[in-house]
Amino acid sequence: MSQRVLRKRALGRSHKQGGHERLYKTRNGRYWVERRSQWQGVRPTAEWLSERDAARWLLANDHVLPEDLSQFAEELSE
């Protein structure tokens, strides 16, 4: 993933045992999550997410949905 297309600030963060995740949105509207481990020698990974999966990630980690993902709020909160 090109660093040029990233916002400077993560949309959401998650701290899980042994690692961290951050959700980002590119300038052209695609979402991706970066995963980093606290363990030495484990490389960070990144994965593209659909809009639905980005909304699911945000809700699961107690974040508010941005306007462009609000259409998933009712469906995913059930």
- pLDDT at residue 39, rounded to an integer: 82
Task: Find the domain containing 43 and state its range.
Answer: 3-76
pLDDT tens figures, 26-72:
888 999 999 888 888 889 899 999 999 999 999 988 899 999 999 99
Indicate if the pLDDT at residue 6 is higher than 50: no
What span, in angstroms and rounded, lies between the C-alpha atoms of 30 and 42? 26
Work out the burial of residue 54: count CB atoms within 10 Å of its CB; fewer than 13 is exposed, 13-18 middle, 19 or more buried. buried
Number of domains in the chain: 1
What span, in angstroms and rounded, lies between the C-alpha atoms of 26 and 46? 13
